[in-house]
Structure 1
Amino acid sequence: MKIKSLYVNKYKALKEFRINFNEDVSVIIGENGTGKTSILELIYNTFIENETFFKDEDGFSKSIIKMRLTDDEIKELNDLKQDNKRNKIFSLEVNKGLDNEFKFIGLPNFKTLNNKRIHSSLVYSKAEVNYKKQKIEAPIKPNDLKEFATIISEDENNKLNLKQYIINEHYKDLEDLSIGNKPFRIDRFRKLYNSFFKEKKFIGVKDFEPVFRVEATGEVHSADQLSAGEKQIFFRGGALLQLNLQNSIILIDEPELSLHPEWQQNILDFYRNIGNNNQIIIATHSPHIVSSCKKEEIRVLIKEEGIVKVEENIEETYGWTVEQLLLSVFQLDSVRNPEVQNRLDRFKELYINNSNLNEKEKTEMNSLKRELEKYLDPEDPSLSLVNLDKNSNKLEALINQLKSNKNNNVLEM
């Protein structure tokens, strides 16, 4: 079962808002305040029929989630209308009545039907900030997280549960080994982490602690001693792997937090490799993540006259440089420090009108020239005007180009 689309009449910044999703990966980007996190919140809370969530949100009126079903799922949903069966789509609609009651229209109980589960799992991984150290004194049975819907958050119980789970898997592996069976449980965690980390490896459990080995020195340390970025991978990725997700929906908010740009480039593949046939919906600010997506996987939220909508026509993004993405998809005016960009623009403006400058303006232009040469790389294309011979043909061509592009502040080389 996969989410096909979400419609919300009114919720926070989202008004009369519609968004479609891919069956495998959808990456939502947009400036702050456009509702990226709100979309994930709405999906999760609508699925679990969280009336408290909707009652606490002033102005919420209605949301509709449309799902795409497999043939087997359609057979289980025998109370759906024939036309919905044929299109493999049904709607789960939440209406708030005048008497403040909520009615879920379309499916009486989304989680089960005739005592059969129709969907394996829905997981919402919230944005994380920090992980505290937690010491486990002895292996104990972890809590059962295998409910229909799960939130992975900064809650201490979630993090402690993952450690307990890994430790128990380790001891089950030892039991198998003692009777001649091949251990396999910890190996899936080892493969996942070691496919991502280059300089250290997850080696298993020691003294009731998941431990890593630094490849260069052989030093062994616990998961609590991982860096902030490594902890994001360990706890968020491990919590998802713990759930044995198959044919599930995974919502992830800001997976790039605390991650080096190189890791951000690889994080999408990391989550793709958790389970099989999962639908992943991500909200992010990272151009490094976007550069690893095809354009059909990107959903750009824009706000026009206070209304948020999804930009329909975006250029291809796969393999683009960060600079290209920031200027085109993220719609930044410049990738430079704003103060440097303003000084560069001023220098260009003065240079274009060099022959008409007064003494004060000439002094300003020369001062800007010295300052830009001090800060910018000598190979920076924007320094071409500074370094070219005054009598060269290329200088004349560049000045003509600047004049034609001065409204766009663009200098092509």
Structure 2
Amino acid sequence: MKVSRITIKDFHQFKDLDLDLTYPAGHPKAGKPLDKVCFIGQSGTGKTTLLEMIPLFTSRYHTKSFPEDSDDYLDKISVSISYGHNSEFNTTVVDKLLDFRIWSWDESHTPKYADQTREYDPIEYYNLEWTKKIASKIVYLPANLNFEIDDIEDPNYSYGKIVDFSKSNVSAVWNLILDSIQKYHEQELQIRQDISKAVEQAPNDLDGIRLAVNKLEQWKKSQFNPIADVADNCLDALLANFKLRVKREFNFNTKGDIGFIKIEDFNKNEIPHHLWSTGTKQIVLSSLPLYLLKPQHTIILIDEPERSLYPDLQRLIINYYASLTKGCQFFYSTHSPIIAASFEPWEIVELKFNEAGQVYRDAYYEGENHVDNYFIDPRYLDYDLILKKVFDMKDTNADLRTEAIVEITMLKNQIDQLKAEGKLKTKEAKDIIIRYKNLANKLAWKTE
């Protein structure tokens, strides 16, 4: 399932807004829904509202922007949806009814359908096993993720129409893997106890002890290790930026050591959960749900993915999230030029206010919506130019920098004048050169 268009007639700051969310002409996927979309714009332009509009019109799910006791969006908004593994089938959600076709695939993957119109309930777009599982549910990661780790209120947490972490503790998703980790730890502990018994009962029986130790080694080689899998396929690549990694070695000291993911530094010092940095929590608690839920052919909504992340991680995170899913469509809302630089120009929806205070989309192309007609492509711009051309900042310099640039320009003119007069060896010239070089160092300019 992917969204291909959002049309808003008149809703709050939106009026006659038509967002085409498909690839432009000239693209290999021309006409197909975008794989990822990035909403940018001034605060108040409705980026989060657009994010939360999607679960409302695809899953009849109410959020803060669209509470259940409100119906002022009826007849004002429509959302076009494409479904099928290759987005080959389309429908449009208007008001509370959805005209759609239920599709199923036989063993030869030949589509069969029956036309129906029914009250807007969650729809199974495929007659496949995963539609009954969590993998087909929309996932919503809000800007204000709940970072509580040590106290998961409901160990039997079950997801509703969507996986909504704006209402739930994000660490609750860990229950999907904690059971397998616990069982793994319990089995390892049992085998280690067998080794201890062998030593205690027959300390001189080296063959028996060796056999018990080999049993542990063979078990480790043959048994699926959920902790190693999390480390290798999800967390370690990102945690390395913090000089951290998943702790793989099992040390049983208390009951709390069984069945949980732990993190250590490169010197094998365990980092307690309450000492994790905000950036570490952001990485773990945003990527781990996608790894565990393994979303397929659904929609992922992520508000402000840049929160608490250093710039080098912001450059990695968009492609990294995509690597944890299969056939999903991502919607992001961001204020970060580094995040925006991860998107093709047709994937960016820049929202602006017009003179009447209504929101419109700023087009990055002239004439036909064709890949060759785009005049802004953030992937090729440095961050200063992205701020100017994409985020519309007229001046990206701080006041001190502007003053320094004016001063260093004047100093350079004075040095050139003294050089022309043959006075570079005078005390006045030397003082000016020192001031010039000091300012150049502060501005990160090279000097001769």
* 1:89 counterpart SS class: strand
Q: Percent identity?
A: 21
Specify the alignment match of 1:48 in structure 2.
Answer: 59
Task: Quote the offset at 1:228 in angstroms.
Answer: 0.2
**Structure 2 Cα separation of the partners of residues 115 and 91 of structure 1:** 17
**Alignment correspondent of 2:143:** 127
Check if 1:212 corresponds to 2:263: yes
Instruction: Specify the alignment match of 2:39 in structure 1.
Output: 28
Aligned-residue Cα RMSD (Å) equals 3.8
Change (3 A) 1:320 1:43: same
Q: 2:73 aligns with which of 49, 60, 84?
A: 60
Q: After superposing the two structures, state which structure 1 stretch, 302-311 or 248-257, moved more.
A: 302-311
**3-state secondary structure, aligned to 1:106:** strand
Q: For 1:18-75, what per-residue CA distance to the aligned partner results, in whole angstroms no more than 9, with x for missing partners?
A: 22334311111111111111100111222232478356558534211101122798xx
SS state at 1:269 partner:
helix
**More displaced 10-residue stretch of structure 1: 307-316 or 245-254:** 307-316
Gapped regions of structure 2 (runs ≥ 5): 22-32, 101-117, 192-217, 251-256, 365-374, 414-431
Give the distance between the partners of 2:383 and 2:315, measured in 1 at CA. Answer: 10
Confirm or deny that 1:189 pairs with 2:221.
no
The residue aligned with 1:324 is 385
- SS for the counterpart of 1:209 is coil
Map of 1:359 onto structure 2: none
1:346–1:37 Cα change, 3 Å: farther
Instruction: Give ranges in structure 1 of 5+ residues lacking alignment.
Output: 74-86, 95-102, 353-368, 389-413
Q: Which residue of 2 aligns with 1:104?
A: 97
What does 1:329-344 correspond to in 2, within 5 Å? 329-338=390-399, 340-341=401-402
d(CA) in 2 for partners of 1:163, 1:255: 20
- Looking at structure 1, the residues matched to 296 and 10 of structure 2 have their Cα atoms a distance apart, in angstroms, of 32
> Which is greater in Rg?
2
Please, which moves more after superposition, 193-202 or 52-61?
52-61
Normalised to the residue count of structure 2, the TM-score between the two structures is 0.65
Checking the alignment, whether the CA contact within 8 Å between 2:137 and 2:298 is kept in structure 1 is: yes
Residues 58 and 71 (structure 1), Cα distance of their counterparts in 2 relative to 1, 3 Å cut: closer
Alignment of 1:289-304 (within 5 A): 289-304=339-354
C-alpha separation in 1, matches of 2:389 and 2:335: 14
Contact (CA 8 Å) 1:122, 1:250: kept in 2 or not?
A: yes
Q: Report 1:237-386 matches (<5 A).
A: 237-305=287-355, 306-313=357-364, 314-338=375-399, 340-341=401-402, 376-378=439-441, 380=443
CA distance, structure 1, for counterparts of residue 62 and residue 148 of structure 2 = 32
Match in the other structure for 1:411:
none
C-alpha contact 1:250 1:280 (8 A) present in aligned 2: yes
Aligned-partner residue type, residue 166 of structure 2: S
CA distance in 2, matches of 1:295, 1:375: 40
Partner Cα distance (2:61, 2:328) in 1: 23
Q: Which amino acid aligns with 1:60?
A: Y
Change (3 A) 1:342 1:110: farther
Alpha-carbon deviation of 1:246?
1.1
Structure 1 residues 369-394: Cα deviation after superposition (integer angstroms, max 9, x where no partner): 99x9699534859x99xx99xxxxxx
Residue correspondences, number: 340
Deviation at 1:129, TM superposition (A): 5.5
